[in-house]
Amino acid sequence: MGTVASYLKNHYRAVIQSSSEPLFYKNVHAYLNFVLKNPDLALIMDESEKEYLIKHKEIWGDKKSTTNRQLEEKEEQTHRLEQFSLYAKDFAFLYTRIYAFIEEYKNHTEPDERPYLQAIIMLRGIDRIKSTLWHKEDLEQYSRWYTGKRKEYESRLRQFHADLLTRIEKPKDYKKETPVKSNLPLSFNTRTGDFVFYKTKGNLSLGGQEFKVFSTLYNSPDFQADYLKLIQSYNPTVEVAHKAYRDDLFVIIRNIKERLNILPTTKTSNPDIFKNNKKIGYRLVFSSIDKNTE
């Protein structure tokens, strides 16, 4: 792991020495990309994410809080959990605010740049955007996220870098285990977007809306997530899951079904594993799981 640590330090040094905000954001993306694509570091992050999700589920469980006190206690437990989680404390914030937007923009091949405003502000700077492609309100809102915010993001990255190096020094805590053969007909790589569903193989573009929605659903406890959480995975500014947003989500889910060969429905189509729980959200339903839990 010594070589990995040295590469990681080089990426971090490039971030700290960035001569401008656009270069800073670009180098943060490169740093996180190295973490996500390196097998040893990705293993550490996968373990941390799984640990966080398990403990988060233990806190909130399936029962709703019936009193304000119970809700406050669970929120406090969650805050404590996140403070000591390598995945949740700083990495998740940097991933959603910087990496995902730039990664999606990097893989963008269409002429329409309107969906990529956050990445463009980061990589170009608000002062260099003279286009009429975006509304003034959107420019002002996302400018507040990134313009003059380098110190905040740099502080987060500094802490994550230090915590990650500490984990690298203790590789025995993250020994590779022999994979357990899953009885699920679906496998999905949340670092690359590659999937296998029965005999259908493909890829969801890393950072794209389909990738964000499906990975959120796939990584959620019991493969279930409410409408707002799924919508916020690709549009984090949304606060209420109004019908218009749910309609957009429906289209994205339909597109995913097409990629998984669920739609259009033919004799060779794969079974539909998406269950729409009205007024709640979506869930991935696998018959093998349901039979084992009944």
88-97, pLDDT tens digit by residue? 989 999 999 9
- Report the percentage of the chain scoring pLDDT > 90: 51
Q: Which two tokens stand for residue 19?
A: 């001569």
Contact indicator for 207, 191 with CB cutoff of 8 Å? no
Task: Give per-residue pLDDT as tens, 60-104.
Answer: 876 666 688 888 888 899 999 999 999 998 999 999 999 999 999
Contact indicator for 273, 262 with CB cutoff of 8 Å? yes
Confidence check: pLDDT of 293 > 50 = no
Can you give the pTM of this predicted structure? 0.58
| Of 163-167, 177-181, 217-221, minimum mean pLDDT range | 177-181
Residue type, 115: P
Crossing angle for the helix pair 21-37 and 150-168, nearest 10 degrees?
20
Is the torsion defined by CA of 280, 285, 287, 288 positive or negative? negative
Distance CA 280, CA 189 (A): 26
Tell me which of 3.90.180.10, 1.10.540.10, 3.40.50.9100, 1.10.10.10 is the CATH number of domain 186-293.
1.10.10.10
Instruction: Quickly list H helices, the chain.
Output: 2-16, 21-37, 39-60, 68-83, 92-94, 100-106, 117-124, 136-146, 150-168, 209-219, 227-234, 243-259, 287-293
Confidence at residue 15, expressed as pLDDT on a 0 to 100 scale? 96
Confidence at residue 175, expressed as pLDDT on a 0 to 100 scale? 42
Residues 207-233 have a mean pLDDT of 90
Task: Give per-residue pLDDT as tens, 215-227.
Answer: 999 988 889 999 9
- Structural domain spans, the chain: 2-174, 186-293
